[in-house]
A and B are shown apart, each in its own frame.
Chain A
Amino acid sequence: MVPTDLRYTKDHEWVRLDGDEATVGITAYAADQLGDIVFVELPDVGRTLDQFATFGVVESVKAVSDLFAPLAGEVSAANEELAANPELVNSDPYGAGWMLRIRAADVSQLDELLDPEAYDALVEAG
């Protein structure tokens, strides 16, 4: 069961909302599917993103995947730790492996995302 305090996209990103500060990463399932993560390409701070726009790329040894913003807003921070230690995405995907923070333009967009049960069902269905 995925963390219950988060919301999820169908592309396997998670988001934690604190007021209007959204922290974003990818789920353990996604990290697992990708395998050993070797590189994460993140946007510059200050960039504005639409909901579900591509914000970056995550690369593993054998695969690559686009990353999609769960909510629209301005990028307020990108996890610089990932440049030297991309493996954090594998070892701690919901904690130290966070990818970016967005100042959400419209927090009601959260309602369009999957709750933990719905995300688990999505993963189950394969």
Chain B
Amino acid sequence: MPYGPHTPGDRDRMLAAIGIGSVDELFADIPERLRASGLDLPPPEPELTLANRLQELAARNRTDVSSFIGAGVYRHWSPPAVDQLLLRGEWYTAYTPYQPEVSQGTLQSIYEYESLIAELVGLDVVSASHYDGATATAEAGLMTCRATRRERVLVSRAVHPHYRQTLATYFAGGLELDEIPMVADGPSAGTTDLDALGTMLADPGRPVAGVIAGQPNFYGLLEPMAAIGELAHAAGALFVAVVEPVSLAVLEPPGAYGADIAAGEGQPLGIPPQYGGPYLGILASTDALVRQIPGRLVGMTTDVDGKRAFVMTMRAREQDIRRDKAASNICTNQALLALAASIYLAVIGPHGLRDVAASGAARASELEAALAAAGARRLHPGPYLNEFAVVVPDARVVHRRLLQRGILAGLALADIEPGDAALADALLVCATEVTTSDEIAQFAAALGEELGERMDRVGTVAEVLP
């Protein structure tokens, strides 16, 4: 066993102290007919062999491409200080800080995280973390039902498809989840349809607990958040804003436009993509909702000698104490990622974060112009920050051909919304501070060639689809 310390002599000493002859006696209470039939796994490998295997697997992923994909997970420069600090064993091998006297590191860092995010989103209460943006949004939806004692939540169709699907799973037990359509044409195309929202809120027999919309939305577009919030509040519903934390360096935060709850994905704060996680579910609310917010909370207090100290607080809300009446069953969260995000914010600083957001916007402007010149214009006309959709005929096919040329041309929207014909010919692309002008030029040139060729080519779809 690679990490076990016991020698045969150690085992013998323990057996003797217990007064048995073999460790098998300690398993005698497993009924014989239920004992394991055996365990058939690949044989163990010494570290060097295993390391080679892992490297070989990793090398089979195409991460050597120039990437223009966002769709909820964004490439940013993470200062090496972040990961080097995270690698300290005192951080990553510590447990949940149930014994505060020996966990002031973790506890203070969580309090600082709560404070940093509170400042970014403009709300006062921040949970110590949730699993990811999707589950944070689902919990936000459930919060609105508990707080208003109503059973219906409206979510904009322009919110990330995975978040809407997660909401649907969490709501499948008797709560109602309805989608607010997007505007189809005109200057607000691709954003939440306020008229439709108004109608949905006005149904007297089905009062709404919460309205959920994203800023920017999944298509990168800026939404009329204050107006959505006003409509929600006028109908007695709460307003949940789904946000992207880097953008909050330059965009108006949820607290300023009347959101009661903010949910979002913290991955852009220095956390690598890792094919899906672990990420960071951000969940914040007004003070009024503090008893409804699920997950851990860390607060400041004093110790018996009057020293300032930090401690998990309002614990009786959580599952280990509240059990079947708990707001949520969450136990393990994403604490280490909250720490990563905090270190990132501390190292980058407010000016740096603003530069990250603004650089992304500048690069995105460059990208928009380059792609338009190559023949791919924007799908929607409205303002965006650093992500937008472009029209590309047979987008999936073009996307895969560009991948073969070393360019990950954003997300073919047909891959994530296969049933939506309006998105079959669209790519969702983004740029950040790490996107270079050369990459943009190469992307545009390659795309231009593909579009040019498509006009000449006849019926070759099958040869490139995987």
Interface residues of A (CB under 8 A from B): 38-39, 57, 59-64
B315 at the interface (CB under 8 A from A): yes
What's the Cα separation between A84 and B349 when bound, in Å?
A: 37
Additional A-B contact list (15), CB under 8 Å, known A61-B315, A62-B316, A63-B321: A38-B316, A39-B291, A39-B314, A39-B316, A57-B325, A59-B316, A59-B317, A60-B316, A61-B316, A62-B315, A62-B321, A63-B316, A64-B321, A64-B322, A64-B325
A60 contacts which chain B residues (CB < 8 A)? 316
B322 contacts which chain A residues (CB < 8 A)? 64
Instruction: Count how many chain B residues have C-beta atoms less than 8 Å from C-beta atoms of the other chain.
Output: 8
Minimal beta-carbon separation of A74 from chain B (angstroms): 20
Minimal beta-carbon separation of A89 from chain B (angstroms): 14
Interface residues of B (CB under 8 A from A): 291, 314-317, 321-322, 325
What's the Cα separation between A39 and B316 when bound, in Å?
A: 9
- A38 engages B321 (CB within 8 Å): no
* 3 nearest A-B pairs in the assembled complex, by CB-CB distance: A59-B316, A64-B316, A64-B321
What's the Cα separation between A54 and B317 when bound, in Å?
A: 18
A62 contacts which chain B residues (CB < 8 A)? 315-316, 321
Minimal beta-carbon separation of B316 from chain A (angstroms): 4
What's the Cα separation between A61 and B321 when bound, in Å?
A: 10
- Pick 15 A–B contacts, CB within 8 A, sort by A: A38-B314, A38-B316, A39-B291, A39-B314, A39-B316, A57-B325, A59-B316, A59-B317, A61-B315, A61-B316, A62-B315, A62-B321, A63-B321, A64-B321, A64-B322
Minimal beta-carbon separation of B310 from chain A (angstroms): 15
Minimal beta-carbon separation of A59 from chain B (angstroms): 4
Minimal beta-carbon separation of B137 from chain A (angstroms): 27
What's the Cα separation between A57 and B323 when bound, in Å?
A: 13
Report the nearest A residue to B321, measured CB to CB. Answer: A64
B314 contacts which chain A residues (CB < 8 A)? 38-39
What's the Cα separation between A63 and B314 when bound, in Å?
A: 10
What's the Cα separation between A55 and B316 when bound, in Å?
A: 18
A57 contacts which chain B residues (CB < 8 A)? 325
Report the nearest A residue to B326, measured CB to CB. Answer: A64
Minimal beta-carbon separation of A92 from chain B (angstroms): 22
Minimal beta-carbon separation of A57 from chain B (angstroms): 8
What's the Cα separation between A30 and B322 when bound, in Å?
A: 17
What's the Cα separation between A62 and B98 when bound, in Å?
A: 12
Minimal beta-carbon separation of B456 from chain A (angstroms): 71
What's the Cα separation between A20 and B315 when bound, in Å?
A: 38
Tell me which of B314, B315, B325 has the highest count of chain A C-beta atoms within 10 A of its own C-beta.
B315
Minimal beta-carbon separation of A66 from chain B (angstroms): 8
Minimal beta-carbon separation of B463 from chain A (angstroms): 64
B291 contacts which chain A residues (CB < 8 A)? 39
B321 contacts which chain A residues (CB < 8 A)? 62-64
Minimal beta-carbon separation of B251 from chain A (angstroms): 36
B317 contacts which chain A residues (CB < 8 A)? 59
What's the Cα separation between A11 and B59 when bound, in Å?
A: 64
Report the nearest B residue to A65, measured CB to CB. Answer: B316
Tell me which of A38, A57, A59, A62 has the highest count of chain B C-beta atoms within 10 A of its own C-beta.
A59
Minimal beta-carbon separation of B303 from chain A (angstroms): 15
What's the Cα separation between A61 and B291 when bound, in Å?
A: 14
Minimal beta-carbon separation of B107 from chain A (angstroms): 15
What's the Cα separation between A65 and B325 when bound, in Å?
A: 11
What's the Cα separation between A39 and B290 when bound, in Å?
A: 12
Report the nearest A residue to B320, measured CB to CB. Answer: A62
Tell me which of B291, B315, B316, B321 has the highest count of chain A C-beta atoms within 10 A of its own C-beta.
B316
What's the Cα separation between A59 and B321 when bound, in Å?
A: 10
Minimal beta-carbon separation of A55 from chain B (angstroms): 15
B325 contacts which chain A residues (CB < 8 A)? 57, 64
Minimal beta-carbon separation of B149 from chain A (angstroms): 11
What's the Cα separation between A64 and B322 when bound, in Å?
A: 6
Minimal beta-carbon separation of B201 from chain A (angstroms): 25
What's the Cα separation between A64 and B316 when bound, in Å?
A: 6
What's the Cα separation between A59 and B315 when bound, in Å?
A: 9
What's the Cα separation between A60 and B316 when bound, in Å?
A: 7
A59 contacts which chain B residues (CB < 8 A)? 316-317
Minimal beta-carbon separation of B451 from chain A (angstroms): 63
Report the nearest B residue to A66, measured CB to CB. Answer: B325
Report the nearest B residue to A58, measured CB to CB. Answer: B316
What's the Cα separation between A57 and B317 when bound, in Å?
A: 11
A39 contacts which chain B residues (CB < 8 A)? 291, 314, 316
What's the Cα separation between A39 and B325 when bound, in Å?
A: 15
